[in-house]
Amino acid sequence: MKKHLQYYFSATLNSYAILFFSQNRILGVLLLVVSFFNFDAGLSGLISVIGSLLLVNTLGFKKEEIKSGLYSFNSLLLGIGFGTFFSFSFAYWLWLAAACLLCVVLSVNLSSFLGKYALPSLSIPFVLTFWMVLIASNGYLGMGLLQKGSSLIFELNTNPPSHFSQLCLFFEHLNIPANLLLFFRSVSAILFQNSVLAGMIISIGFLIHSRIGFSLLVLGFIASCIINQLTGTYPGGISNYYLGANFMMVSCAIGGFFLIPSWRSYLWAIAVIPFTFLVLNGLSRVLLLYNLPVLSMPFCLVTLGLLYFFMLRKQPGKLKLTPFQYYSPETNLYQFLNGEQRLKDFKYFNLSLPFMGAWTVSQGYEGSITHKGDWQHALDFVLKDLDDKTYQLPGIKPEDYYCFNKPVLAVADGQVEEVIAYIDDNAIGQVNLQQNWGNTIVIKHAENLYSKVSHLKKNSIKVKAGDYVKQGDIIAFCGNSGRSPEPHLHFQVQCTPYIGSKTYPYPFAYFTVAGQSGLKTFEVPQEGTTIERPEINSYLKNAFHFQPGYLANITADNGHTETWEVFTDDFNSTYFFCHENQAVAYFVSNANVFYFTRFYGARNSLLYHFYQAAYKINYSAQPLEDFFAADAENFNLLLWLQDALAPFYRFIQNTYTNSIQIKADGLIVQSKGGRLLLGKDKNWFKAELFLGTKGIQGFALQHQNKHLKVTWETSSV
């Protein structure tokens, strides 16, 4: 029951907060309170929200979406609009219910319809529904809907002044610049109000939610006012509703919500203002024929139009659309930047090296010998000895060369596309220019992703066209056929299946470079370097290879216990779920590394501390460095400053490092978190993870002044 109430409570608050593209509770509560400044509107708004939530929940729509307020915020707008526009009566509640139903239906259908194009439905359901109500009630007076005032929709309450309205009045005449008053009034217009006090409260809420978002509101306001000043479009100044519900909202949506905030998105946030002027004025002229207000339609049209326009780009460049919506411009930005840096597993197909042992890149990308023009993104590999020779004396036969007749592996799973196996191996120093590529295998790994190995040994190929191969399978042996004066292995990635296709630059997922510490992830090896597959430490791999159903009982030395279970979600992502406090930590675990991608939930939970301590683990036991995404944990002036500047410049970085100490019967992962502020490293936390043959045994963490020792017991579901 408590869970049930919590769910409705969150969904209700989210329905309010989402008006400002947020899921911030403080903002939600403030908006709820402010909506009751106009009591009728506030009440019908709240009733509409709860009614809609009950409806969609009973009908069994997706809980996650319901909880985010996606299906109910249009009803909220509708309720507030109703309450602002019409007087209470029996018919009022009837038609409100009907309109709410229509609005919910439209919300669900439009979200699904537009969702196919990865577009949001914004407030279109509300606008359409409200138009429908207005048209209907204007034509059929018998419906019984009584309009409140004259043509002025959004006037202030005309009841006799109460204490509250006196307070409001005080703020209306506050001794601050007129533009500032207009700004606050515009902000309040989103809830169909025209109140400085309401605007101020909402502004504070929004600032708490997002510094970037607030700066964009201000930017949109200033840009619109200046343009109006210059053109004189509205001689009496722009109406606060146009400003709030359209211009400022567009700036906010384009500049910081649907695009990753950057100076580019900020430029668009300005550029979009005159564009919106045009759409708004045009639309309002047309709607005037039917005596309809434009409401927030211009905002919806402009935002949707631009979004789709941006989506259709073939090469998006640096102006990025938000790939995953965290309902906060800051989080969107930080997660995006962090993801670019860390989550290359999702960006690239995971290619492993096409050989065993340590091979040297004898010719890299744009190599001076043959890797030129269309074939510049290729790699040649040889084996070298201590004396940098590729052969043992006398070096006159291919067999004298170390790499000759060594196994060649499939770099990833795939289907063999083409095989040539009959070409003779050359004598040393000779090349076969007629059959340039020599014996060759092309493997298809994905659409438009093929790998090719060439100059293989004659008749050494173990696969044929059409065969499926697994990553690491031996497919052939290194040889000296084709344009190859001495045995070597040629490797390239290409987008088309032909022998002779042009090359495509593509990194290897994980490898180590001789003489350099650390694991290389998703890099193209450099010419002259000797590279090798990472050697996996079985303790680490065994301990961190969590499968769905894995269950751990965690006990801290302060008596606090948690139970964690591993689940897989709809998108095949794995995560830890804490049964006690519902915290969730997403992680990735592949053949080479374990790392967390995102944590949701309480910062004092043990799961959060494990997330910190084991943020990333190399199974090959090299020391590593990584970065946490910046996070708005609690109020901190410095962090707020960082947030406001983040689209342009970031001066705080949260670092993570670890090193591994191998013991006789297990090992210890020592990790450290730091905050890098203008080049100065501040200690954040220190942790030690203890591993034995049976997996993780426990961990210790020192976080600020907190010392924590945790024991770990495992069982499977």
Partner 1 sequence: MKQKYERPTIRKMNTGLMNKFGTRTDFDPVESIDGVAVKDLVEQYGSPVFVLSEKQIRRNYQAALRSFKTRYPKVQFAWSYKTNYLNAVCKVFHQEGSWAEVVSGFEYHKALGNGVAGHQIIFNGPDKKEADLILAIENHSLIHIDHFDELYLLIQLTERINKTAKVAIRVNFDTGVYPIWDRFGFNYENGQAWTAINKIAKANKMELVGLHCHIGTFMLSTAAYAVAAAKLCQLALKCKNELQNPLQYLDLGGGFPSTNTLKGAYLPGVDTVPSVEDFAEAITNTILEAGFATNELPLLILESGRVLIDDAGYLIGSVLANKRLSDGRRATIFDFGINILFTSNWYDHKISVAKESGQYTEETVLFGPLCMNIDVIRESIMLPLLERGDQVVVHKVGAYNMTQWMQFINMRPAVVLIDQQVKSHLIRKPENLDYLEMMEVVPDYLKT
Q: Pick from 155, 366, 385, 569: which binds partner 1 (CB under 8 A)?
A: 385
Q: Nearest Cα to 668, choosing from 553, 551, 557, 537?
A: 537
- Decide: 16 and 31 in contact? Cβ < 8 Å: yes
DSSP class per residue in 186-251: HHHHTTT---HHHHHHHHHHHHHH-HHHHHHHHHHHHHHHHHHHHH-SSTT---HHIIIIIIIHHH
The residue (of 418 and 473) whose beta carbon lies closer to partner 1 is: 473
How far apart (Å, rounded) are the C-alpha atoms in residues 330 and 162? Answer: 40
- For residue 357, the minimal CB distance to partner 1 (Å) is 4
Tokens at residue 372, please? Answer: 């030129």
Pick out residues in 458-487 that bind partner 1 (CB under 8 A).
470, 472-474
The residue (of 178 and 664) whose beta carbon lies closer to partner 1 is: 664
Regarding 662 and contact with partner 1 (CB under 8 A), the answer is yes
The residue (of 495 and 514) whose beta carbon lies closer to partner 1 is: 514
DSSP class per residue in 153-169: TTPPP-SPP-HHHHHHH
Regarding 664 and contact with partner 1 (CB under 8 A), the answer is yes
- Decide: 532 and 355 in contact? Cβ < 8 Å: no
Regarding 533 and contact with partner 1 (CB under 8 A), the answer is yes
Which window, 47-55, 271-279, 582-590, 661-669, contacts partner 1 (CB under 8 A)?
A: 661-669
Tokens at residue 99, please? Answer: 């309109």
How far apart (Å, rounded) are the C-alpha atoms in residues 75 and 62? Answer: 18
- Decide: 245 and 295 in contact? Cβ < 8 Å: yes
Q: Give the CB-side neighbour count of residue 163, counting CA atoms within 13 A.
A: 0
Letter for the amino acid at 298? P
The residue (of 139 and 515) whose beta carbon lies closer to partner 1 is: 515
Sheet of 359-363, strands arranged across: 468-469, 414-420, 439-446, 449-456, 489-494, 378-382, 359-363, 530-532, 508-513, 520-523
- For residue 462, the minimal CB distance to partner 1 (Å) is 11
The residue (of 447 and 665) whose beta carbon lies closer to partner 1 is: 665
The residue (of 242 and 477) whose beta carbon lies closer to partner 1 is: 477
Regarding 434 and contact with partner 1 (CB under 8 A), the answer is no
Regarding 556 and contact with partner 1 (CB under 8 A), the answer is no
Q: Nearest Cα to 456, choosing from 427, 422, 428, 418?
A: 422
Q: Pick from 64, 387, 388, 447: which binds partner 1 (CB under 8 A)?
A: 387
Regarding 668 and contact with partner 1 (CB under 8 A), the answer is no
- For residue 456, the minimal CB distance to partner 1 (Å) is 15
Regarding 383 and contact with partner 1 (CB under 8 A), the answer is yes
Q: How far is CA 464 from the centre of its chain?
A: 41
How far apart (Å, rounded) are the C-alpha atoms in residues 246 and 295? Answer: 8
Which window, 112-120, 227-235, 263-271, 530-538, contacts partner 1 (CB under 8 A)?
A: 530-538
- For residue 345, the minimal CB distance to partner 1 (Å) is 19
- Decide: 521 and 344 in contact? Cβ < 8 Å: yes
- For residue 358, the minimal CB distance to partner 1 (Å) is 7
Length of the chain: 717
The residue (of 340 and 385) whose beta carbon lies closer to partner 1 is: 385
Q: Nearest Cα to 681, choosing from 603, 640, 625, 617?
A: 625
Contacts within 8 Å (CB) and 24+ apart, 544-549:
544/589, 544/594, 544/614, 544/617, 544/619, 544/696, 545/589, 545/594, 546/574, 546/576, 546/587, 546/589, 546/594, 548/574, 549/716, 549/717
- For residue 551, the minimal CB distance to partner 1 (Å) is 22
- How many residues touch partner 1 under the rule CB under 8 A: the total is 24
Regarding 665 and contact with partner 1 (CB under 8 A), the answer is yes
- Decide: 40 and 156 in contact? Cβ < 8 Å: no
Residues near 165 by beta carbon (within 8 Å), at least 6 away in sequence: 156, 157, 159
The residue (of 473 and 688) whose beta carbon lies closer to partner 1 is: 473
Residues near 443 by beta carbon (within 8 Å), at least 6 away in sequence: 410, 411, 412, 414, 415, 416, 417, 450, 451, 452, 469, 475
- For residue 509, the minimal CB distance to partner 1 (Å) is 16
Pick out residues in 75-134 that bind partner 1 (CB under 8 A).
none
- For residue 419, the minimal CB distance to partner 1 (Å) is 21
The residue (of 320 and 488) whose beta carbon lies closer to partner 1 is: 488
Regarding 694 and contact with partner 1 (CB under 8 A), the answer is no
Regarding 678 and contact with partner 1 (CB under 8 A), the answer is no
The residue (of 205 and 398) whose beta carbon lies closer to partner 1 is: 398
How far apart (Å, rounded) are the C-alpha atoms in residues 558 and 336? Answer: 37
The residue (of 257 and 402) whose beta carbon lies closer to partner 1 is: 402
- For residue 510, the minimal CB distance to partner 1 (Å) is 14
Letter for the amino acid at 589? S
The residue (of 453 and 585) whose beta carbon lies closer to partner 1 is: 453
Regarding 403 and contact with partner 1 (CB under 8 A), the answer is yes
Which window, 20-28, 245-253, 609-617, 657-665, contacts partner 1 (CB under 8 A)?
A: 657-665
- For residue 571, the minimal CB distance to partner 1 (Å) is 25
Pick out residues in 318-377 that bind partner 1 (CB under 8 A).
355-359
How far apart (Å, rounded) are the C-alpha atoms in residues 187 and 243? Answer: 8
Which window, 61-69, 148-156, 299-307, 401-409, contacts partner 1 (CB under 8 A)?
A: 401-409
How far apart (Å, rounded) are the C-alpha atoms in residues 45 and 335? Answer: 34
- For residue 475, the minimal CB distance to partner 1 (Å) is 13
The residue (of 535 and 557) whose beta carbon lies closer to partner 1 is: 535
- For residue 665, the minimal CB distance to partner 1 (Å) is 5
Strands 706-716 and 550-556: antiparallel
Which window, 133-141, 360-368, 423-431, 532-540, contacts partner 1 (CB under 8 A)?
A: 532-540
- For residue 369, the minimal CB distance to partner 1 (Å) is 23
The residue (of 172 and 473) whose beta carbon lies closer to partner 1 is: 473
- For residue 384, the minimal CB distance to partner 1 (Å) is 9
How far apart (Å, rounded) are the C-alpha atoms in residues 502 and 371? Answer: 11
- Decide: 609 and 701 in contact? Cβ < 8 Å: yes
- For residue 663, the minimal CB distance to partner 1 (Å) is 8
- For residue 355, the minimal CB distance to partner 1 (Å) is 7
Contacts within 8 Å (CB) and 24+ apart, 156-161:
156/194, 156/195, 157/38
Q: Pick from 407, 485, 497, 692: which binds partner 1 (CB under 8 A)?
A: 407
Q: Pick from 141, 386, 678, 717: which binds partner 1 (CB under 8 A)?
A: 386
Pick out residues in 133-162 that bind partner 1 (CB under 8 A).
none
Which residues would be at the binding site for partner 1 (CB under 8 A)?
355-359, 383, 385-387, 392, 402-403, 406-407, 470, 472-474, 533, 535, 538, 662, 664-665
